[in-house]
Structure 1
Amino acid sequence: MRLFKTAVTGVLVLVFIISSGIISRAELYNLEVQQEIEKEAQLKEAAKKPVKKKEKKKPKLTGEAAKREKIVNAAMALIGQDYWPGGTGSEEDYGYDCSGLTQHAYMAAGIAIPKKSTEQYRKANIILQRELKRGDLVFFNTRGTGVNHVGVYIGGGMFVHAPGIGKQIQTADLNKNYWGSRFFGAGRYIK
């Protein structure tokens, strides 16, 4: 806007100068060319300046949402750690088993849940798969004997789990053939 006002003012001054006979048309042309060069230089200089973007602050999560994020973040932080039978991540253990992982993740949100996957399932509020939210637990029957595996649902059909001996904690797709066919149910502890 300021550039426009400057240009208009300049044109008015030039009209006055020409009509008064103070300057010739050739000199006017040279002045106009010079003004164009100056405008281009100003625009180039303005283009070099970085545009300040307002940083959007993430809204601070509270209540249920905060607990869910703590659970998911705690589970995700363990990705790559070794599976250890019966492991809870204590100094005596070299890693986590599936229920030790979920217990650890829930402790990060201040929620105590049982150690074994069967007990975690039994004490959870059972929900439908379509009702899953981040931080809920997903249970599997991998041996044909009922619940024997558990993971933390992280959204988008994915969950974090400790798959077994010789493997590391990882994410998996709940809807892929192996896990989809062994899905037993879902549970919620967050109210």
Structure 2
Amino acid sequence: MRKTLTNTVVAILALFCLMGCAGSKRQAEPIPPACDMERLLATARSQVGIPYRFGGLTPESGFDCSGFTCWVYSRHGIELPRRSIEQIRAGVPVSREQLKPGDLVFFEIHRKGPSHVGIYTGNDVFVHCPSSGGRVREDRLTDTYWRKRYRGACRVRR
């Protein structure tokens, strides 16, 4: 009798566990909470010094600007479109005054519209992989060059 009761309780508990897994849908959420964001920013900063390469998607081959943002976010389970012009539509637009660490920042460099992207790290600083300078680095949004070319920002959703 005791064995039957134990087996019944175990079966009921297993059933409840399985029911909790069924039918749960993932909702779109804002980018990771602060603790996860710190890890994302640490990942981005860990690539400082990696060389620029047109079309590059990995630290081993080098990065271009959007390849860098794709790679960083993918390490944290967030897939971004490949090109900067597509990445600007991958999230919710935010004003310069609303920028938070982890937001994508966009610049008009070679053509009309956003042609360069970086990751905002806070205090008017962003990390990116520019073709000029040839390596992943941090720059200030307030530098004359970047301030004149700034075109907007977005907050990515998971």
Classify the TM-score, shorter chain.
0.7 to 0.9
- Let me know the Cα RMSD of the aligned residues: 1.6
1:7-22 to 2 correspondences below 5 Å: none
| Per-residue Cα deviation, 1:101-143 (whole angstroms, up to 9, x for no partner) | 1111111221111111010002221111111111111000113
In structure 2, the residue corresponding to 1:102 is in which secondary structure?
Answer: helix
Equivalent pair of 1:85/1:165 in contact (CA under 8 Å): no
Does residue 172 of the first structure (1) align with residue 139 of the second (2)?
yes
Residue identity in the other structure for 1:69: E
Task: Show structure 2 runs of 5+ residues with no match.
Answer: 1-31
1:20-169 to 2 correspondences below 5 Å: 63-89=32-58, 94-164=61-131, 167-169=134-136
Taking structure 1 as reference, are residues 173 and 77 closer, same or farther at Cα in structure 2, changes over 3 Å only? same
Equivalent pair of 1:84/1:165 in contact (CA under 8 Å): no
In structure 2, the residue corresponding to 1:153 is in which secondary structure?
Answer: strand
* Whole-angstrom distance in 2 between the partners of 1:90 and 1:159: 18
TM-score (norm 2): 0.75
Equivalent pair of 1:74/1:104 in contact (CA under 8 Å): no
TM-score (norm 1): 0.63
* Whole-angstrom distance in 2 between the partners of 1:123 and 1:107: 14
Residue identity in the other structure for 1:75: A
Equivalent pair of 1:82/1:166 in contact (CA under 8 Å): no
Taking structure 1 as reference, are residues 101 and 175 closer, same or farther at Cα in structure 2, changes over 3 Å only? same
Equivalent pair of 2:90/2:157 in contact (CA under 8 Å): no
Equivalent pair of 2:91/2:154 in contact (CA under 8 Å): yes
Task: Show structure 1 runs of 5+ residues with no match.
Answer: 1-62
Q: Name which of structure 1's ranges 102-111 and 180-189 shifts more when overlaid on structure 2.
A: 102-111
* Whole-angstrom distance in 2 between the partners of 1:184 and 1:134: 17
Q: CA deviation at 1:79?
A: 0.2
Task: Give aligned-pair identity as a percent.
Answer: 38
Q: CA deviation at 1:67?
A: 2.8
| Per-residue Cα deviation, 1:39-64 (whole angstroms, up to 9, x for no partner) | xxxxxxxxxxxxxxxxxxxxxxxx51
Structure 1 runs of 4+ with >2 Å offset: none
Give the paired residue count: 127
